[in-house]
Structure formats: structure tokens, C-alpha cells
């Protein structure tokens, strides 16, 4: 049984998958399959750990939200906060990019 938050999370993943390049999209599709759970959970924890240590040269803060996204597929209590974070972040990003575009158009 798919809950409302799980269905919303899957829509967010589908949208993300459409925006990223082909190889990464195929990897994301493979890791989203139910049988990949035993790969997805440790990978999610490793990404979160890498995000915490983002001050190191190779690691980055981008790892933290990606790890949370992967864990939210399997951990129901994370689905609500991750969904609202994605929606809020998407709205802020579009507002910021629209303001930047308008500012750039106004200076020409």
C-alpha cells in the first residue's frame, strides 16, 4: 500500500530523474527498485556521513540531501519532512532564479 507521502516522494524522484543526465538517471532508476533496498540504505547513510564531513576536499554538502532522499524511500518517518523540504527548496530555488533572471534582464 502506497501512502500519500510515498506517492509524493516518488513523483519528486521522477521529476529529479528527468532533470539529470542519462547515466545518472539510469543509476537512480536502478537504485529505486524495491530489491535494491540493501544497497540503498547503507548508501544513504554513507552519503549523509559524507555530507556531515563536507569540509573535507572531496566531500560536499550535496551528499546530505541525497542521502536523506534515499533513506526516505525506506523509512516512513522521513517521508513527510523530506517531501516538505523538497517542495520548500524547489519553491525557493524558482523564486531565486526568477529574481536573478529579472535582475539580469533589467540591467541590459
Q: Residue 107: which pLDDT band, with cuts at 50, 70 and 90?
A: low
What is the rounded CA–CA span in Å between residue 17 and residue 61? 20
Q: Residue 12: which pLDDT band, with cuts at 50, 70 and 90?
A: confident
What is the rounded CA–CA span in Å between residue 40 and residue 34? 9
What is the reported pLDDT for 2?
64
What is the reported pLDDT for 17?
86
User: Where would I find the H helices in the chain?
Assistant: 4-19, 22-32, 37-52, 63-72, 76-106
What is the rounded CA–CA span in Å between residue 101 and residue 85? 24
Global pTM value: 0.76
What is the reported pLDDT for 108?
56
Amino acid at each position: 500500500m502506497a501512502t500519500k507521502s510515498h506517492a509524493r516522494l516518488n513523483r519528486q524522484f521522477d521529476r529529479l530523474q528527468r532533470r539529470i543526465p542519462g547515466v545518472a538517471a539510469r543509476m537512480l532508476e536502478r537504485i529505486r527498485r524495491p530489491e535494491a533496498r540493501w544497497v540503498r540504505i547503507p548508501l544513504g547513510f554513507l552519503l549523509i556521513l559524507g555530507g556531515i564531513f563536507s569540509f573535507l576536499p572531496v566531500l560536499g554538502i550535496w551528499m546530505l540531501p541525497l542521502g536523506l532522499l534515499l533513506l526516505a524511500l525506506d523509512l516512513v518517518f522521513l517521508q513527510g519532512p523530506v517531501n516538505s523540504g523538497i517542495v520548500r527548496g524547489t519553491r525557493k530555488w524558482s523564486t531565486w532564479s526568477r529574481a536573478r533572471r529579472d535582475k539580469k534582464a533589467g540591467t541590459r
